[in-house]
Amino acid sequence: MTITSRVCRWSLIPCWPNLNDPAAVRVKVGGEDAEVAYAGAQGSLFGLDQVNVRRPRSLAGRGEVSIVPAVDGKTANTVRVSIR
């Protein structure tokens, strides 16, 4: 996956506890904290949750980085993406 925009969105494993509380969600992109713009129900697919984050501007052109989401300190699977 290549990310060129500032807002990234992805759907996560169903029913993460406290996903509806953005304060409980932390996302690191390339080792840096990313702002969580939305965390909650995906909307059109029942039981699927979604997190929208704004990638830090400092990562522009960085290439391949890891995205590490966590809720209440419990880390989900890491995803590798390429940022242009």
Domain range list for the chain = 2-83
- The pair phi, psi for residue 13, each rounded to 5°, is -55, 140
Just give the CATH number of 2-83.
2.60.40
Tell me the whole-structure pTM to 2 decimals. 0.74
Angle CA 45–43–49, to nearest 5? 75
80 vs 84: CA distance, rounded Å: 13
pLDDT tens-place string over residues 23-64: 888 999 999 998 888 888 777 877 777 888 887 788 888 899
Q: Which residues pair with 66 in a beta bridge?
A: 80
75 vs 25: CA distance, rounded Å: 10
Place of tokens 């990562």: 59
